[in-house]
Structure 1
């Protein structure tokens, strides 16, 4: 499978980004990660991780669900994870000639969503998203905002009509979640579904006997 671009912006939802990164790394995927400065502020507030917005370090972003998996996750990141600075337009992901499986913006702020819908490219996240739209590749945005204004809804419609996938961080409950982690896993699994990454993090509708492949 080709590399996946993971962008993290300043919307609430840091646990989604951390869990998605862990799951993708554990499936031997090459990940190109970009964080906005606002995302580092959210990480500090929501998960207590203090990240340098200009020089993020991989080890700060690796948090295995099970502590015993942490050493393996660190080894995988050394091989598979590439960090890019927010305004580094020389990164491969800024060009359509750099082939990818797709891109996920998780979580996606309304500011980033509106910029992508308008075709702006004022930073690497926006540029990479614009590339995925023009190249007809998968672009998944994961907004976490409520309530939504008419402007938000129009921007989502514009992005969807341009070829993007709007996948709100809205977990289901039919898998009978017992923890915040179960709710996070529902959304992460749906993101992976749209990337064609085969994971079973929670039971799916119509398959109550389905046991998760990941803990």
Structure 2
């Protein structure tokens, strides 16, 4: 019985991913990733910066004054039903702020240059950057999806520093060999590339050499 309980706990922990959404353009990327994780049976732990909420409002029409309502509407009541956990940005005592919280890793999608710089500097000024710092210190996967152009030397130096620390950098650079017909196709490609790096099986974009259906 003890062994069965332990196995159940470990299985549950392997289904957790921390997902961060920051103030870079492309909030739909993070939202779509969360939807795909939920559909695949994972439990996302979501944290959104204040600037991230501003972008969600500007790009997706979310009402930042009613955050839980927005999340439940976007994710089919996953928060209310306990299939997703939302952590307020300033809740520095949240579970994901501790190295004792077991999870598979963390994805920040999209990742602003400001958040990327804070992570590179080890500046745990809010729950998102603290969670990223936890991933680094615990040796867990940390994937960042920067969305900025053009890039200057500080941006590039910060990304090089993080890459040398083992962080996976997946810039929001969609491909066109798969013949995208809509914004949704472009978003699906980027989310699929991230899920590839997360080690999660999916079929949400057409791969190179895959025949047309």
Q: TM-score, normalised by structure 2?
A: 0.89
Pairing 1:130-145 to 2, within 5 Å after superposition:
130-145=133-148
Deviation at 1:2, TM superposition (A): 3.1
Pairing 1:1-215 to 2, within 5 Å after superposition:
1-52=14-65, 56-57=67-68, 59-61=69-71, 73-74=75-76, 76-77=78-79, 78-209=81-212
Contact 1:22–1:62 at 8 Å: present in 2 too? no
Q: Say if 1:62 and 1:148 are closer, same or farther in 2 by CA, change over 3 A.
A: farther
Larger radius of gyration: 2
Higher helix content, 1 or 2: 2
Q: Secondary structure at the match of 1:80?
A: coil
Unaligned runs of 5+ in 2: 1-13
Which piece of structure 1 moves more, 91-100 or 77-86?
77-86
Could you give the per-residue CA deviations for residues 95-128 of structure 1, whole angstroms, max 9, x where no partner exists? 1111111101111000000010111101000000
Contact 1:103–1:138 at 8 Å: present in 2 too? yes
Deviation at 1:195, TM superposition (A): 1.1
Which piece of structure 1 moves more, 105-114 or 192-201?
192-201
Q: Secondary structure at the match of 2:185?
A: helix
Distance (Å, rounded) in 1 between the aligned partners of 2:194 and 2:72: 19
Deviation at 1:50, TM superposition (A): 1.2
Unaligned runs of 5+ in 1: 65-72
Contact 1:26–1:76 at 8 Å: present in 2 too? no
Following TM superposition, the consecutive aligned residue runs of length 4 or more in structure 1 with deviations greater than 4 angstroms are: none
Deviation at 1:187, TM superposition (A): 0.3
Residues matched between the structures, number: 199
Deviation at 1:62, TM superposition (A): 5.5
